[in-house]
Amino acid sequence: MRMRKKPNLIPRMEACAALWVKDPEGMRGRWRELMPGAARLRLELGCGKGRFTAETAARHPEDLYVALERVPDAMVTAMERCKAKGLHNVFFIDGDAAELDRCFAPDEVDLLYINFCDPWPSVKHAKRRLTHEDFLRRYRLVLRDGGEIRFKTDNRPLFEWSLFQFPKAGFALSQVTRDLHAGGPTGVMTDYEEKFYRLGTPINRCVGTKGPLPDLPLSEGLARALPDWQAEELDISDVTGLPPRAETEQLCRLRLTRREGPGGAELLVLKDHPRPGTVWVVSLTAERGEDRAAAADALVPAARAGGFTALRVRCPAEGEEHTFWRSRGFGDLRPDGDGVVMERLT
């Protein structure tokens, strides 16, 4: 449901300036400066009108609370709620969940809430769900080891689907319930949650605890990123011209082909080269430019799913090849002979 435009939105938001962090990227790694001595940093994704935000922050004055909301018309109501309560341990970000790692440093968040997110029921929109494996892996970038994600929803299909996503992203499930308030109201409710409760709609809840990440083979990661393609590992016995200090066991050679119609690409990479966590792209070839571009774009989510944090490639310092990789988010890292090494973080 689209919220009606709030009158005097900007003046109302400015009146809550003490709670509004306008440059969250500038706070990356520094959030606890807002509340020195905070026991934990709690982060809520999509705080809406802020009932849950205000009541939870009030119950835990020892913790620093950061609430993210991409709809300013909702966020201003949440800020006003917290201001009215005289809370000094809660702050707000007008932002997007997909960019958390730009606002928070690794291990900076202790607990993350996802309450009643958009279920995006269409299969083609599954990747937009905040509990999709890709999002969960992004949360790992800012959540400390052993940190928790607490998820609530009234949407049973979304909940059942999400229960399969958490383990794939390295989160151990606990406190799984499909009727949270069966014995009476439990914990702090959101505005929507109270409405659902009064209507008799069961509330689903679970906790995901960050553990070791189950790494996917690059072939499977590429197949997930390119659902209309298939990926096949090839023999590597005849590979030559590798970078210095590269080991044969680091090699992975893949053929990517479309399931229907012509097209495909061939990829040769070195895993954990030149350092652990990096994938070095030795070569990426295809008969059609669109296939090569699709394969290059799929490398990022595939590497991330495999537990890798960076991609590197060596190419000429200028020209078509350099432009190709730059358009995919790679930046110049260092000169290398008559070329340049480029890198992109996953």
Tell me the catalytic residues: 118
Alpha helix positions (H), 105-146: 133-140
Could you give the CA distance from residue 151 to residue 94 in angstroms, rounded to a whole number?
A: 21
Task: Give every CB contact of residue 51 below 8 A, 6+ residues apart in sequence.
Answer: 81, 188, 189, 190, 191
Q: What is the DSSP letter of 221?
A: H
| Angle at alpha carbon of residue 333, lines to 332 and 335, rounded to 5° | 85
Give the integer Cα–Cα distance in Å for 156 and 272.
Answer: 40
What is the DSSP pairing of strand 331-336 with strand 339-345?
Answer: antiparallel
Rounded distance between C-alpha atoms, residue 130 and residue 117, angstroms: 7
Phi and psi, residue 73, nearest 5°: -60, -30
Under 8 Å between Cβ of 268 and 282:
yes
DSSP for 290-328, please give it.
HHHHHHHHHHHHHHHHTT--EEEEEEESSSHHHHHHHTT
Looking at beta carbons, which pairs linking 212-215 to residues 24 or more positions away fall under 8 Å? 212/170, 213/137, 213/140, 213/169, 213/170, 213/307, 214/167, 214/168, 214/170, 215/305, 215/306, 215/307
What is the DSSP code (8-state) at residue 20? B
